[in-house]
Amino acid sequence: MNSSSAAKTILFLLVIAFIGLVFFTSTSDISRTRVDQPSFSEFMAKVDAGDIKEVIMYLSANSYELQGEYKNPANRRFQLTIAKEEAPGVTSALRDKAVQIKIKDAHGSDWIMLLLPYLPLILIVGFSFFLFRVMKTNPSRTVTGIGYDLHRLAEGRKLIVGGIELPFDKGPVGHSDGDVLAHALCDGLLGAAGLGDIGTHFPDTDPQWKGANSLLFLEHAKKLLADKNFAIEHIDAVVITEKPKLGPHFPKMREALAKALGVSADKIHLKAKTNEGVDAIGRGEAIAAHVVATLSSR
């Protein structure tokens, strides 16, 4: 799992945990958040019994809306509408019972209080929408790139393949160290991410790359991939040469390549083939490599 998938999974679990907490809290406190809608006679009976704690009266043209809280039962609210002509008698009765009264022209300014019982649902919907946007706008995707390289072999040059030197009487002719596997791998990675090719970033006309270790190219490719939020998922490569035998050297090659790319060695799979005596490779005059690189977006 790459870092993006892990982050989204953690976010999803946090949202689920939050929803569960909100539901637990809201269900455990249901008695405190329930709003009664008593009739006028039931309300006046509560007033006479001294069970009203406070009242807010919202004035309108033909009626008054009353909202408030009971003393008994405690922590329970009520809401009812009374005719305008009933307001003086209700106000007088409330004052006789020393009930705290607030009078307001409209209750638009108290919209937060009106929405408070629905806050858990609003938060759940908001978090769900946010999670949907994150998953939609940042979808995980997989891309693949191919790389190929070939070098002539000449006597008196070191044979560098996969970042290590192999005992052999010939080596690749090239501007850098001529590591055919590292070059093909670099092209595969850059191609998958849409970042050009090795010649774009390390032209053979630039003297600073004369004889350079090709693992430096892979380290640079790793940084470019990180900048574009790509992670290396798998590398499959085949090196084609008649001699020498490459299989015994694959473990060290995988370690060297993995270190340069900052990945585990099990993400790199190497194979070796001969060209059955055909063409320049078959005559021992050249060495080639093919690579398929698979990346995922973070």
Task: List strands edge to edge, sheet with 100-104.
Answer: 35-36, 77-83, 63-70, 52-59, 100-104
Given a cut of 70, whether residue 13 has pLDDT beyond it is no
pLDDT reported for residue 274: 96
Domains of the chain, by residue range, sit at: 3-137, 142-297
Q: Whole-prediction pTM value? A: 0.57
Tell me the backbone φ, ψ of residue 141, rounded to 5 degrees: -140, 155
Output the CATH code of domain 142-297. Answer: 3.30.1330.50
Cβ within 8 Å of residue 89, ≥6 positions away: none
- Placement of tokens 């043209």 in the chain: 61
How far apart, in whole angstroms, are the C-alpha atoms of residue 28 and residue 5? Answer: 34
CA distances from 61 to 68, 83, 110, 177, 276 (A): 21, 10, 19, 91, 99
Contacts of 119-124 with CB under 8 Å at 24 or more apart are 120/22, 120/23, 120/25, 120/26, 123/18, 123/22, 124/19, 124/22
Given a cut of 50, whether residue 221 has pLDDT beyond it is yes
Please give the mean pLDDT across all residues of the chain.
Answer: 85
Given a cut of 50, whether residue 248 has pLDDT beyond it is yes
Given a cut of 60, whether residue 26 has pLDDT beyond it is no
CB 47, CB 66: distance < 8 Å: no
Q: Name which of 106-110, 148-152, 186-190, 230-234 the model is least confident about.
A: 106-110
Residue 208 banded pLDDT, cuts 50, 70, 90: confident
**Mean pLDDT of the region 125-146:** 75
Tokens representing 87 are 């307001």
pLDDT tens per residue across span 140-161: 789 999 999 999 999 999 999 9
Q: Higher confidence at residue 130 or residue 79? A: 79
Domain range 3-137, its CATH number among 3.30.720.210, 3.40.50.720, 3.40.50.9100, 1.10.3720.10: 3.30.720.210
Residue 128 banded pLDDT, cuts 50, 70, 90: confident
Q: Higher confidence at residue 118 or residue 288? A: 288
**Mean pLDDT of the region 4-24:** 63
**Mean pLDDT of the region 238-254:** 96
pLDDT reported for residue 262: 96
pLDDT tens per residue across span 253-297: 999 999 999 999 999 999 999 999 999 999 999 999 999 999 998
pLDDT reported for residue 22: 60
**Mean pLDDT of the region 125-134:** 72
pLDDT reported for residue 109: 47
CB 179, CB 287: distance < 8 Å: no
pLDDT tens per residue across span 173-194: 988 899 999 999 999 999 999 9
SS (H, E, C) the chain: CCHHHHHHHHHHHHHHHHHHHHHHHHHHCHHHHCEECCCHHHHHHHHHCCCEEEEEEEECCCEEEEEEEECCCCCCEEEEEEEHHHHHHHHHHHHHCCCEEEEECCCHHHHHHHHHHHHHHHHHHHHHHHHHHHHHHCCCCEEEEEEEEEEEEEECCCEEECCEEECCCEEECCCCCCCHHHHHHHHHHHHHCCCCCHHHHCCCCCHHHCCCCCHHHHHHHHHHHHHCCEEEEEEEEEEECCCCCCHHHHHHHHHHHHHHHCCCHHHEEEEEECCCCCHHHHCCCEEEEEEEEEEEEC
Given a cut of 80, whether residue 117 has pLDDT beyond it is no
How far apart, in whole angstroms, are the C-alpha atoms of residue 287 and residue 179? Answer: 10
